[in-house]
Amino acid sequence: MSSKQQFSFFESVERYFDKAAELTNHSQGLLEQIKVCNSVYQIRFPVKIGNSVQVIEAYRVQHSHHKLPCKGGIRYSEHVNQDEVMALASLMTYKCAIVDVPFGGAKGGIKINPRNYTPGQLERITRRYATELIKKNFIGPAIDVPAPDYGTGAREMAWILDTYHTFNSSNIDSYGCVTGKPITQGGIRGRTEATGLGVFYGTREAMSHADDMEALGLTTGIEGKRTVVQGLGNVGYHCAKFFQDAGARLIGLSEYEGAIFDPSGKGFDVDDVVAHRKSTGSILNYPGAQNLDHSADALELECDILIPAALERVIHGDNAARVKAKIIAEAANGPITPDAEDILLAKGTMILPDVSDVEKNIIAHGADEADLVYSGLEETMITAYNAIRESWKRHNRINDLRTAAFYVAIEKVACAYEELGIFP
Ligand code: NAD
């Protein structure tokens, strides 16, 4: 059996959790309560597509009710399943806790490939999904707040908002039922690029510590560093753009149809590559670039920083030994399996766990709103990274940043439960 198949995604998250949980002093009951998913809603609904009816499979998982509302993205992908949504929901709880955002983690998913549907069909599927969530009280500003994720964006959030609003038109707070909506619908400037920017700020902070960089054979700072990005969607594109603007050299870029490498070492202009992909339909054959047959080949390029920004579990037991990056900055959720992590840590790779999926409440509106999002995010990511790093450096049984991140998260969620007085 391939090592990629050894653990499901949720089991992988549980393994990361257990590794950190055993370093804490909390009772088994409390740790169990933190680890499990509190509510799992599995839905099947019919939608008329063309001349036939398709039964659509969808999910919403609320991992933790220790703070409400729950919050987390909605993913459209043909690979969606309950295990994946449970894993993503639990990761959201830990990310929110690390950055002190007072929400429980949640995630949703619809098992469709959005490329196979027209916008009108996607709208019908989305509105029906939203209606199913409303029916079971699985959505609402005080209950559970969806956001964009893989395969979804502001458009889908607008459809969900409109559906929710139709059923709750007298509720002045109903616009708070989703984040990541269009600006005209009450969305916040700066939200779209926030996840990519958070990854940038976190990596920049990690690379400012001279002793850590020296251990990797690197100088401090992002400027000039050879960088590879997998996935040029919302998160990946903005990551690439922020790294490029900070002087990183984008020597490898990957999309689902293949990847490109810059043999000159100067680095691509991400906007130009995106424009090329738009006009030709593929990232391949970009002028001056070397084509790589498989998108995953980019993960194995010789580079300083590797940013997986597409999907989970792309670095696994079968390819980890060939990954040459000195730093892996996670932008996707869960891109590294536990067995791959063991291999990477053994060879000294620095893994920066993704904690960037943060949305603080912003109350200003107008042109300065994006500045507020940016500066709030910058401070949040710097503080979060240094809290994780401090646990890593101080605790003699914590040997890596992910265990440190889970440790910090568990302590914070445990604190919220302990204050409830249920657990001894
Ligand atoms: P997206 O749909 O906007 O983009 C994903 C991109 O990855 C697409 O362009 C897709 O074609 C590409 N892709 C798919 N398979 C690939 C492969 N094998 N190799 C290379 N590229 C591939 O999705 P997104 O919102 O950017 O999400 C990407 C990741 O970031 C996901 O893991 C998601 O959970 C995570 N994330 C997203 C957000 C958000 O705010 N959008 C927040 C937190 C985390």
Class of the 39-185 domain? alpha beta
**Binning pLDDT at 50, 70 and 90, where does residue 191 land?**
confident
Question: Of 107, 111, 241, 412, which one is the catalytic site residue?
Answer: 107
Among positive and negative, which fits the CA dihedral 62, 70, 391, 351?
A: positive
Average per-residue pLDDT for the chain: 93
**Binning pLDDT at 50, 70 and 90, where does residue 4 land?**
very low
Q: Which of 131-135, 202-206, 283-287, 417-421 has the lowest mean pLDDT?
A: 417-421
Quickly list H helices, 110-264: 119-135, 154-167, 194-206, 210-216, 234-245
Q: Which of 52-56, 143-147, 368-372, 403-407 has the lowest mean pLDDT?
A: 368-372
Structure confidence at residue 356 (pLDDT): 75
Instruction: Tell me how crowded residue 299 is: count the other CB atoms within 10 A of its CB.
Output: 26
CB of 309 sitting under 6 A from ligand 1: yes
**Amino acid letter, residue 176:** G
Whose Cα sits closest to atom 30 in ligand 1? Answer: 332
From residue 40, alpha-carbon distances to 144, 210, 213, 236 in Å are: 13, 44, 42, 29
**Binning pLDDT at 50, 70 and 90, where does residue 5 land?**
low
**Tens digit of pLDDT for each residue in 229-267?**
999 999 999 999 999 999 999 999 999 999 999 999 999
From residue 360, alpha-carbon distances to 66, 372, 373, 415 in Å are: 18, 10, 8, 20
- Mean pLDDT, residues 321-338 taken together: 96
Whose Cα sits closest to atom 17 in ligand 1? Answer: 256
Q: Are 209 and 389 in contact (CB under 8 A)?
A: yes
Query: For residues 171 and 385, what is the distance between their CA atoms, to the nearest angstrom?
Result: 38
Same-fold call for 39-185 versus 194-358+373-410: yes
CB of 332 sitting under 6 A from ligand 1: yes
- Domain boundaries in the chain? 39-185, 194-358+373-410
Ligand 1 atom nearest the C-alpha of 335 is: 32
User: Shortest CA distance to 190 belongs to which of 154, 240, 143?
Assistant: 154
For the chain, give the number of residues.
424
Structure confidence at residue 370 (pLDDT): 77
**Binning pLDDT at 50, 70 and 90, where does residue 366 land?**
low
Q: Which of 56-70, 127-141, 182-196, 295-309 has the lowest mean pLDDT?
A: 182-196
**Binning pLDDT at 50, 70 and 90, where does residue 360 land?**
low
- Mean pLDDT, residues 277-303 taken together: 96
Global confidence as pTM: 0.93
Structure confidence at residue 58 (pLDDT): 98
3-state secondary structure of 110: strand
**Binning pLDDT at 50, 70 and 90, where does residue 123 land?**
very high
CB of 254 sitting under 6 A from ligand 1: yes
Q: Which residues partner with 53 through β-bridges?
A: 48
- Decide if 135 is catalytic: no
CB of 295 sitting under 6 A from ligand 1: yes
Identify the DSSP state of 315: B
Identify the DSSP state of 99: T
Q: Regarding predicted confidence, which is higher, 120 or 418?
A: 120
CATH number corresponding to 194-358+373-410? 3.40.50.720
